[in-house]
């Protein structure tokens, strides 16, 4: 028997002990008390034996139940009580059947109930013991009756014994399968409790790890925004000096040096864009971004950004074109610097990821009240699978990592900004077939 009895089995045991004591009490009243009131009410062959049997059965049952309660309260192992109780009850039952109706009698069914009861102790051993004793008693009882001449050996009496033995074994199988099921339930319950405990401690560990990660994340954000802030001023100064030299403020410079300085200028521009993106991420995410909206023609912003990339596109030998319709309603209400950064990100990517062919920047009016900017290139293109992740923070297309420098922030920022101005951003692309990045903004009335 298991030390820890599962709740369901305990309830069943209590139910079975309770009903057994109830039946025994009833017997006690019928067999002992009633004949005291009226001696003629029931006639027995062996009145003394039967009365002693019924008295003993009731008394031992009550005693064992009291013992079980005491042991359980003290938290002690009460297996021996259960064993003793079962043995007592099977012996008393055999004696009872012998003096009261024999195996022919209807009380044979009590054997079957005892087998079931023994199974409730979650053991396979108990039903086996009970069934063995009951089978031996049934056969010996049969032989006893045969020798006593009370029954004769014929097909009917043999069949009767056979059916009784069979029903004993059938009950044993039911009892054992019940015991096994209850044991399984208990094991599952214990396992579930253990898992629940483990899960709770894993949850706590995860929670504290999460808090630590959040702290680290915010430290990293602070570091990035500080570093970006410190980098921006010297880079802007470099840009100023380089353009002064290129404009001849420091006197004539050789053509070769001019070429190198133009490269310095465009590399510096790229660094400024990168630093701006880093600053923008933390500002937008922390809600610190200040927008200074004003009315402006999108064409004007596009022209400025477009011209910034002429040197880089020329250096790469790309066909670089701007296509703006003569008549277009392109007045928008935006923070011009921010839209400037978005267009800068898109054009910079197109030039960066295109090695040969063309980059075309164009404006159009797909429908009344909407103005659309497209940056079309003949570059590496992006597979459908990667397109869905492209606007995620820090996402870079696998094949570009290592080949080109970048942070994976440009498109993420661009999306946040365009959505701030109630616009939409997207792309059409296929691997190796170039890309079209676009955004649409509402036209201001």
Q: CB of 440: closest distance to ligand ADP in angstroms?
A: 18
Q: CB of 262: closest distance to ligand ADP in angstroms?
A: 22
d(CA 245, CA 238): 11
* The binder of ligand ADP chosen from 31, 275, 298, 409 (CB under 6 A): 409
Q: What is the helix, strand, coil percentage profile of the chain, to 5? A: 65, 10, 25
Find where tokens 């049969």 sit.
142
d(CA 395, CA 408): 5
Among 80-88, 139-147, 237-245, 393-401, which window interacts with ligand ADP (CB under 6 A)? 393-401
* The binder of ligand ADP chosen from 21, 407, 424, 442 (CB under 6 A): 407
d(CA 64, CA 86): 10
* The binder of ligand ADP chosen from 283, 400, 431, 442 (CB under 6 A): 400
Site string for ligand ADP, 325-364 (x = CB under 6 A): --------------------x---xx--x-----------
* The binder of ligand ADP chosen from 102, 172, 396, 415 (CB under 6 A): 396
Give whole-number Cα distances, 32 to 19, 52, 56, 223, 273, in Å: 19, 9, 12, 94, 105
What is the C-alpha end-to-end distance of the chain, expressed in Å? 86
Question: Sign of torsion, CA 15 170 93 35?
Answer: positive
- Looking at the Cβ atoms of 77 and 432, the one nearer to ligand ADP is 432
* The binder of ligand ADP chosen from 298, 397, 416, 425 (CB under 6 A): 397
Q: CB of 234: closest distance to ligand ADP in angstroms?
A: 21
Nearest to 139 by CA among 115, 110, 162: 162
* The binder of ligand ADP chosen from 127, 175, 379, 423 (CB under 6 A): 379
The interface with ligand ADP within residues 416-445 (CB under 6 A) comprises: 435, 437
d(CA 132, CA 94): 12
* The binder of ligand ADP chosen from 120, 390, 418, 441 (CB under 6 A): 390
Site string for ligand ADP, 286-325 (x = CB under 6 A): ----------------------------------------
Nearest to 160 by CA among 115, 103, 107: 103
Total residues in contact with ligand ADP, by rule CB under 6 A:
22
Sequence length of the chain is: 445
Among 6-14, 78-86, 290-298, 377-385, which window interacts with ligand ADP (CB under 6 A)? 377-385
Q: Is 378 in the site for ligand ADP (CB under 6 A)?
A: no
d(CA 73, CA 53): 30
Among 30-38, 212-220, 332-340, 390-398, which window interacts with ligand ADP (CB under 6 A)? 390-398
| Beta strands 358-367 and 319-323, pairing class | parallel
**Cβ(298)–Cβ(332) below 8 Å:** yes
Q: CB of 435: closest distance to ligand ADP in angstroms?
A: 4
**Cβ(339)–Cβ(361) below 8 Å:** no
Tokens read off for 1: 């028997």
d(CA 178, CA 194): 24
d(CA 242, CA 265): 7
d(CA 233, CA 228): 9
* The binder of ligand ADP chosen from 408, 426, 428, 431 (CB under 6 A): 408
- Looking at the Cβ atoms of 212 and 403, the one nearer to ligand ADP is 403
Q: CB of 320: closest distance to ligand ADP in angstroms?
A: 14
Among 161-169, 264-272, 280-288, 394-402, which window interacts with ligand ADP (CB under 6 A)? 394-402
SS3 of residue 394 by DSSP: coil
Among 36-44, 124-132, 365-373, 407-415, which window interacts with ligand ADP (CB under 6 A)? 407-415
- For residue 376, list its beta bridge partners: 360, 436
Buried b (16+ CB within 10 A) or exposed e, 224-260: ebeebeebbeebeebbeebeebbeeeeeeeeeeeeee
Q: Is 276 in the site for ligand ADP (CB under 6 A)?
A: no
Among 186-194, 211-219, 325-333, 409-417, which window interacts with ligand ADP (CB under 6 A)? 409-417
Dihedral, 49, 52, 57, 59 alpha carbons, nearest 10? 180
Q: CB of 429: closest distance to ligand ADP in angstroms?
A: 7
* The binder of ligand ADP chosen from 281, 377, 438, 439 (CB under 6 A): 377
Q: CB of 258: closest distance to ligand ADP in angstroms?
A: 28
- Looking at the Cβ atoms of 214 and 389, the one nearer to ligand ADP is 389
Binding residues (CB under 6 A) for ligand ADP: these are: 345, 349-350, 353, 377, 379-380, 382, 390, 395-397, 400, 406-412, 435, 437
């Amino acid at each position: 028997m298991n030390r820890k009895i599962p709740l369901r089995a305990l309830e069943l045991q209590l139910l079975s002990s309770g009903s057994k004591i109830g039946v025994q009490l009833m017997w006690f009243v019928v067999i002992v008390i009633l004949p005291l009131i009226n001696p003629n009410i029931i006639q027995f062959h062996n009145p003394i034996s039967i009365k002693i049997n019924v008295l003993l059965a009731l008394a031992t049952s009550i005693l064992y139940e009291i013992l079980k309660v005491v042991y359980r309260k003290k938290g002690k192992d009460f297996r021996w009580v259960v064993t003793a109780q079962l043995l007592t009850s099977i012996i008393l039952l055999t004696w009872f059947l012998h003096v009261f109706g024999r195996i022919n009698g209807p009380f044979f069914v009590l054997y079957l109930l005892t087998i079931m009861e023994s199974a409730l102790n979650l053991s396979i051993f108990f039903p086996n013991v009970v069934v063995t004793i009951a089978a031996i008693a049934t056969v010996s009882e049969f032989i006893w009756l045969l020798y006593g001449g009370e029954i004769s050996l014929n097909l009917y009496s043999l069949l009767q014994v056979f059916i009784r033995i069979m029903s004993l074994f059938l009950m044993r199988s039911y009892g054992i399968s019940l015991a096994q099921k209850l044991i399984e339930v208990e094991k599952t319950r214990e396992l579930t409790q253990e898992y629940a405990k483990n899960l709770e401690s894993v949850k706590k560990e995860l929670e504290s790890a999460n808090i630590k990660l959040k702290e680290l994340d915010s430290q990293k954000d602070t570091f990035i925004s500080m570093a970006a802030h410190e980098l921006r001023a010297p880079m802007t100064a470099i840009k100023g000096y380089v353009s002064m030299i290129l404009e001849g403020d420091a006197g004539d410079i050789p053509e070769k040096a001019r070429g190198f300085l133009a490269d310095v200028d465009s590399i510096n521009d790229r660094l400024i864009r990168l630093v701006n993106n880093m600053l923008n991420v933390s500002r937008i995410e922390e809600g610190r971004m200040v927008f200074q909206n004003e009315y402006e023609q999108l064409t004007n912003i596009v022209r400025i950004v477009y011209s910034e990339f002429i040197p880089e596109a020329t250096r790469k030998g790309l066909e670089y074109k701007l296509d703006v319709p003569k008549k277009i309603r392109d007045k928008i209400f935006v923070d011009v610097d921010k839209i400037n950064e978005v267009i800068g990100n898109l054009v910079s990517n197109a030039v960066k990821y295109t090695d040969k062919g063309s980059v075309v920047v164009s404006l159009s009016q797909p429908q009344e009240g909407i103005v659309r900017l497209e940056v079309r290139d003949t570059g590496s293109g992006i597979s459908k699978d990667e397109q869905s992740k492209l606007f995620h923070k820090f996402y870079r297309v696998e094949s570009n990592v290592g080949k080109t420098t970048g942070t994976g922030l440009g498109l993420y920022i661009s999306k946040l900004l365009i959505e701030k101005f109630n616009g939409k951003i997207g792309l059409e692309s296929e691997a190796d077939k170039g890309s079209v990045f676009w955004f649409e903004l509402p036209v201001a009335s």
